[in-house]
Amino acid sequence: MSLKRILCLAALTTASTLIAPAFAQQATRVFEIRTYTCNEGKLPDLLARFRNHTVQIFEKHGMTSIGYWVPQDAPLSQNTLIYILAHPSREAAKKNWAAFQSDPEWQKVQKESEANGKIVNNVVSVFMDATDFSAIK
């Protein structure tokens, strides 16, 4: 076997070991879109909690933040946060949320941020799979 062929095979083997796990992750990754409706006047409190604490706690528990949005038009612009998370799988999402909910840091942050009243009054969660033509997978 020629040196050129050996090097080519070595390069292909190395590439497949590096690339395959990335494709495997994409094949099972699940997205979760969550919509939070706040009690009147509480959206700034929710945004501060996410900005200062929640996003970092999500990361600690394996949740990948894709993006966070507030609607442009009233009345939703006054009380709604929409965001998307990615999880390695649906089963991982279940475990991630359980770990997040039982995290002492999260429990402390939630309690302190709601000292003047509950912030969120409704949560809608939808799990999604990326389509084959989606830019994000």
Answer yes or no: is 117 within a domain.
Answer: yes
Answer yes or no: is 34 within a domain.
Answer: yes
Q: Which domain holds residue 33?
A: 29-128
> Average of pLDDT values for 87-113?
97
Give me the DSSP letters along 110-137: HHHHTTTS--EEEEEEEEE---TT-S--
Answer yes or no: is 81 within a domain.
Answer: yes
> Residue 87 class from Cβ within 10 Å (0-12 exposed, 13-18 middle, 19+ buried)?
buried
Q: How confident is the model at residue 1 (pLDDT cuts 50, 70, 90)?
A: low
pTM: 0.79
Which amino acid, one-letter code, is at 61?
H
Continuous segment of H or E residues that includes residue 14? helix 3-28
Answer yes or no: is 137 within a domain.
Answer: no
Token duo for residue 76: 């939703």
The number of distinct structural domains making up the chain is 1
Q: What is the CATH number of the domain that holds 117?
A: 3.30.70.100
Answer yes or no: is 39 within a domain.
Answer: yes
pLDDT in tens, 85-97: 999 999 999 999 9
Work out the percent of the chain whose per-residue pLDDT is above 90.
Answer: 78
